[in-house]
A and B are shown apart, each in its own frame.
Chain A
Amino acid sequence: MATRAPDRLAAVPPDGPVRSRHRLRRHLVHQLDVKGSPYAYVAPFFLLFSAFGLFPLAYTAWVSLHEWTLLSDEHTFVGLDNFRALLADDYFWNATFNTLSIGVLSTAPQLLLAIWLAHLLNRPLRAQTFFRVTLLLPNVTSVVAVVVIFSQLFGRDFGVINWMLGWFGVDGVAWNEGVATSHVAISVMIMWRWTGYNALIFLAAMQAVPRELYEAATLDGASGATQLRKITIPMIRPTIIFVVITSTIGAMQVLAEPLLFGTYSISGGPDRQYQTLSLLIYENFTKLDFGYASAISWMMFVFIVLVAGVNYLLTRRAKGGLT
């Protein structure tokens, strides 16, 4: 994906004139090395995934074809019944909508902000280590602290945000009640947790952009913003694609934030106004309906592949014009 591999490597000729038998053996070893070692290098990942990833996946697929209640030893094969029920289930489509809505609201501004922050940090600054370290703090702050803080921020009666809105004559917004308000509040939580994390990934990529390009651009009188647009973004395109894909996957699977925001309401609010797909899986899991929960998670898998694929194509096209 978007990696330009230099395929010449394998074609590098064996060195120097040597005696033929020795040469043949060396040649064979070399061939084996060049042809075989790539597989050896990627093998650990696939071995580990086969051991610990594939079995759960297959097992879940099997479970999704059954009426399967946790604790009970009776599992009735029902074919695609769970999937059929799912496609007719309002709550499933409601959760799909919420997931997409929260995903867009949180991911798009988050990535723009992260690129901008990385750009600001990608230059000599006083106390830059300090600034970079603080970027990661939201990601290591405990969930307990996050719950306490954000319920104080978004509280209806004593919340800081409502207190500030009060200056503009807006009173007592119940953030958790409405669809839009709850999605905004949850997106803010997600952005707060993950922007710095992604900024650091962008920053690592920006470090690899040759300085000469900036120097030349500066001599030509290009502004910081122009340099960001014309040099940085095209040069780190693979990383942008990478972050878009991982963030999309993360957003599609979001669970912690809506769960915490609703203080453990597994239905995502009384009217399911912020129940995401993960939360719906979770709800069915806690109701011990393992079969239905497995079916939802397989549908979710399909959605993630679709959404990540679309995002991948969009990112490639949008940035294509800049290169």
Chain B
Amino acid sequence: MRKLRHRFLAPMVAVSALAVSLAACGGDGGGTAGSSASASQPGEKIKLTVALFSDFHYAPLYEAFKKTHPNVEIVERRSQFNDHHTNLITQLTTGAGAADVVAVEGGYIGAFTPVPDKFYNLKDYGLERRKSEYLDWKWQLGVSNDGSSLMGLGTDVGGLAMCYRPDLFKKAGLPADRDEVSALWPTWDAYIETGKKFVAAKVAGAKFTDGPGEHFRAMVEQAPVGFYDDQYKIVAGTNPEVRKAYDMSVKIVDEGLSAKLAAFTPPWNTGIAKGTFATMVCPAWKTGTIKDQKPGEGAWDIAAVPGGGGNQGGTHLMLPKQGKHPKEAAELIDLLTNKESQIMLFKEASALPSLPALYDDPAVADYVNPYFGNAPIGKIFTSAAKALKPQHVGPKAGDVLLAFNNGLQRVEQGKQNAEEAWTQALKDVGRIK
């Protein structure tokens, strides 16, 4: 009776890296499309299910696909973000119920790349040819950890910027123009120095930034090696880059820059609307979150992220082995991710393309957003995405990040000093199997 309803699953899920390191679906079979599971005759009626975690605005692309595949019917399933990914894990574990095409977001992809045997190898359907079109790091995210299988094709990326409140900057006597603001913080050190100036100006009711968590994540992802080395072993405790990012984040707290608000909580939403903090780390898709809180047109503007480039989020399309029609499904994701589609989706859904050739396309490069003071967001976000180097994202990167974020929050809440929190965070990381 008193069934407990849990609406939201935890944001990060992953699997043991080395548990399944041998590929089950063999080597590079470039041109063997349709050889194995897909035995469907032309003209036979086929139903493809596509499982997404929000409206990707794919409807017109399905219509286009049906023109060349009149026998294919496409049914789209949409679920809530976390439910979508945990349901996928349940379906893969129990061997039934997964859709033909599934979207997997960047925070989760590391959970699946260690188990290539659960997904079709897209190389078998000729999709390796797309490699040259993609941002290198984005392409690598879709490759299995052992390198044997191409598991997913990228859709969008979440290029990073720094969103800021021009009104609060003016009040603090700082420049408010976005180019000048970008010039304030080429590095994270400079960002903190700017923050100190902001604090010194004593702007009533406003802190410099929301909290250190997203900053920490951005700094770690900018480094050549993050939580994992290239063997997918956790090196968070020994990698000096992680420690550097941690110390920098603690500094944000120590200098009194943080409003102590965790991202995506209701008080954080309120803070966006009311301007209780002046800056926040901003992937492309966060512009939608800001707009939803209705802070008012021009209240937030967009400048470059310190440290040069970065990415958060972005999605891949993958084909679970349970599907009966991998050939058609592969053709579908080929279409959904091609140049024309990505341009269309950028215009319709502000999904930042993952194909760098498009970054010079006027439709992307000249795009300005009136809600953010006509910020040239096409240019800002794409240059951030271009600047990023590939990093090996480990299977439990999300859990590692959570351990450090909890540590930073303990410092923020005055429960521990920086050293104690670091020690406990490493202990938590050590428990991750």
Contact = CB atoms under 8 A, between A and B. Distances in A.
Interface stretch (B223-231, B379-387, B408-416): B408-416
Given A259-B6, A266-B10, A282-B6, A156 B267 contact: yes
A74 B413 contact: no
B32 interface: no
Interface string A281-293: 0110011110000
A264 B93 contact: no
B407 A253 contact: no
A232 B16 CA distance: 58
A267 interface: yes
Contacts of A148: 266
Interface string B30-62: 000000000000000000000000000000000
Interface in A145-201: 147-148, 151-152, 155-158, 174, 177
Nearest to B408: A270
The A contact surface, by secondary structure, is loop
Interface string A119-163: 000000000000000000000000110011001100111100000
B270 A144 contact: no
| Interface size classification for chain B | 35 or more
B6 A255 contact: yes
Contact of B11 (A151, A155, A264): A264
Contacts of B413: 174, 177, 270-271
Given A246-B1, A255-B6, A264-B8, A151 B19 contact: no
A5 interface: no
Nearest to B396: A287
B86 A263 contact: no
Contact of A71 (B7, B115, B260, B416): B115
A271 B428 CA distance: 11
B144 to A, nearest CB: 13
B7 A288 contact: no
B406 interface: yes
B276 interface: yes
A283 B4 CA distance: 16
A147 B264 CA distance: 13
Interface string B381-424: 00000000000000010010010011111100101100000000
A173 B11 CA distance: 28
The SS class assigned to the B binding surface is loop
B2 A246 contact: yes
A263 to B, nearest CB: 4
B5 interface: yes
A52 B20 CA distance: 32
Contact of A70 (B15, B267, B276): B15
B406 A267 contact: yes
B345 interface: no
Contact of A74 (B12, B20, B416): B20
A256 interface: yes
A248 B112 CA distance: 39
A73 interface: yes
A147 B266 contact: yes
Contacts of B433: 69, 287, 289
Contacts of A177: 413, 415
Interface string A67-80: 00111111000000
26 contacts: A71-B111, A71-B115, A72-B19, A72-B20, A143-B5, A155-B270, A157-B270, A157-B271, A157-B276, A158-B270, A177-B413, A177-B415, A256-B6, A264-B8, A265-B262, A270-B407, A271-B410, A271-B413, A286-B9, A286-B13, A287-B396, A287-B399, A287-B433, A288-B13, A288-B14, A288-B111
Given A288-B15, A288-B89, 15 more contacts: A69-B19, A69-B433, A71-B89, A72-B15, A143-B7, A156-B260, A157-B276, A177-B413, A246-B2, A256-B6, A259-B6, A263-B266, A270-B406, A271-B416, A288-B16
